[in-house]
Amino acid sequence: MNMIDIINKTKRAIPLEDEEIVFLVNGYTKGEIPDYQMSAWLMAVCLNGLNDRETFSLTRAMRDSGDVLDLSCINGVTADKHSSGGVGDKTSLIVGPIAASCGVYVPKMSGRGLGHTGGTIDKLESISGYRTDLPFEDFAGIVNKTGFSIISQSGELCPADKKIYALRNASGTVDSIPLICASIMSKKLALNADIILLDVKCGSGAFMKTNLEARKLADLMERVGDAAGKKCRAVVTDMDSPLGFCIGNALEVKEAIEVLQGKVKGRLYDICIELAANLLELSGKGTYGKCTAMAEEAVKSGRALAVLKETIELQGGDGRICDDVSLLPQARFKHEIRASRDVEILSVNAEELGMASLLLGAGRLEKGDEIDPTAGIVLEFEAGDKISMDAPLMTLYSTYCSDFSEAAIRAYNAITFRDLTSSALT
């Protein structure tokens, strides 16, 4: 068995045997297979794909490259919710506390952002004192107490995925449905919760740009989860425009808290209730309609916010932010963009807004880049809104960046307008 034969088989769309997939995953993880050979195989997968059996085998091999958690110490049904990534996506900070307040245990390990998509760990680390690097025993103890905890992914979980993902990012081989599926599901299966809910984002701000692509990924991940003996469901949600009005780490924590305070409704709230209801239904809490009502009541009563506050405090963070969001880090500089004439907002390119926030310091282009927790964008509109001349469109925030010119141009150009004084599109 050798890597040249494996590359050639995938290049010619000849299915690999399970043993060959285990060989390449283990060999690359141990450093026995060089980057250039693994890159060649990844590109062959991008061009020719993998069949279901190969995808299942790749997922298992990546899962088994490290530890698989034993969650039997948690006192009930465990559920893991994952998003495929997007702009302004702070749903885990809302859905987890809602589900936990309804009796489901939600242990979650998350990652950092790279490129235009944000990372849940970066958002949480904008909370003063919040620890994301807890030992497993402390993590499990918090989940047993509050029903919810998010920490950073352990170095012993899926080392193959960490190494392969970094190579995919550097070799232009990210956009392959089997590779995306194996990357996501290997981590989900290593966490080993009873239930897996997958939020597959679709649109300009997501990896999956079309509904067809998103549905293919969702269906494949469901089949992988079912084959592994998990209750697994994938829900496709829209990411053509940012989720909510805030983009950036501390700004998104603020908006998540305001949703749980009952102050913010709209698309973000609706998607979070939908995701929470799916988690509750999968966990045996009743029909989807009953679970929707339970999720709404958890927000209205304040129980979900109380879960978030207690969890933040147990992880070393300042829980007072749940009562006073002004205690979150505040940007030193800001720049307001106003409408130059009467316009109607036709569409918003979420990816371009994400890139604009990255220029402000809210994200990272390279893995080791520093993040400004205060940086980001607050929108004052949704698609379809009519904006009067000189009314605010958005505000840009940063502490490290005082020259907003490049980010402001990119953010403004992310919006497609209809000029209400003429028939022109801008």
Nearest to residue 89, comparing CAs of 105, 104, 110?
A: 110
The single residue of 82, 90, 163, 335 carrying the catalytic annotation is 82
The single residue of 89, 122, 161, 238 carrying the catalytic annotation is 161
| Residue-level length of the chain | 426
The single residue of 123, 168, 233, 285 carrying the catalytic annotation is 168
CA distances 260 to 22, 269, 389, Å, are 44, 9, 33
Nearest to residue 282, comparing CAs of 246, 233, 240?
A: 233
- The strand order across the sheet containing 392-398 reads 246-247, 376-379, 392-398, 333-338
Residue 361 Ramachandran class (φ > 0 left, ψ -120 to 50 alpha, else beta):
left
Total H helices, total E strands in the chain: 16, 12
Is 340 catalytic? The answer is no
Is 318 catalytic? The answer is no
Is 183 catalytic? The answer is yes
The single residue of 81, 112, 187, 201 carrying the catalytic annotation is 187
Question: In this structure, are residues 147 and 105 in contact, taking their beta carbons and an 8 Å threshold?
Answer: yes
The single residue of 92, 126, 176, 183 carrying the catalytic annotation is 183
Is 35 catalytic? The answer is no
Is 82 catalytic? The answer is yes
Give the residue numbers annotated as catalytic, written as ranges.
82, 161, 168, 183, 187
